[in-house]
Amino acid sequence: MKVLAHVILHQLLFAGWLLAMWVLYCTPACTHPIEHLIAVPFAVLIPTAVIMRRLCSDPRFIRWVDELER
């Protein structure tokens, strides 16, 4: 049950992030280019850092990268 709650929380967080990106880029709510520059670290860099951290801690991914380097 705890794992299910964790998965649901992650999905809700991702849905909120998608909604924020839609509001930021697809509605007239954003009228200034500087808002895009401010939003980029939150919209792109933080999720990328989270994904890379998870990938780099996975032994399967590390083995795959080692095989690519050969």
The answer, yes or no, to whether residue 49 has pLDDT greater than 70, is: yes
Are residues 19 and 44 located together in one domain of the fold?
A: no
Collapsing DSSP to helix, strand or coil, 28 comes out as coil
Are residues 37 and 65 located together in one domain of the fold?
A: yes
Q: State both tokens at 12.
A: 């809700």
pTM above 0.95, yes or no: no
The answer, yes or no, to whether residue 5 has pLDDT greater than 70, is: yes
**Residue range of the domain that includes 35:** 31-69
Average pLDDT over residues 5-26: 81
Are residues 38 and 54 located together in one domain of the fold?
A: yes
Structure confidence at residue 30 (pLDDT): 60
Are residues 16 and 40 located together in one domain of the fold?
A: no
**CA distance linking residue 11 with residue 14, whole number of Å:** 5
Are residues 36 and 64 located together in one domain of the fold?
A: yes
**CA distance linking residue 34 with residue 20, whole number of Å:** 16
Structure confidence at residue 42 (pLDDT): 75
Chain position carrying tokens 């998608």? 18
Residue 39, judged by CB atoms within 10 A of its CB (0-12, 13-18, 19+), counts as middle
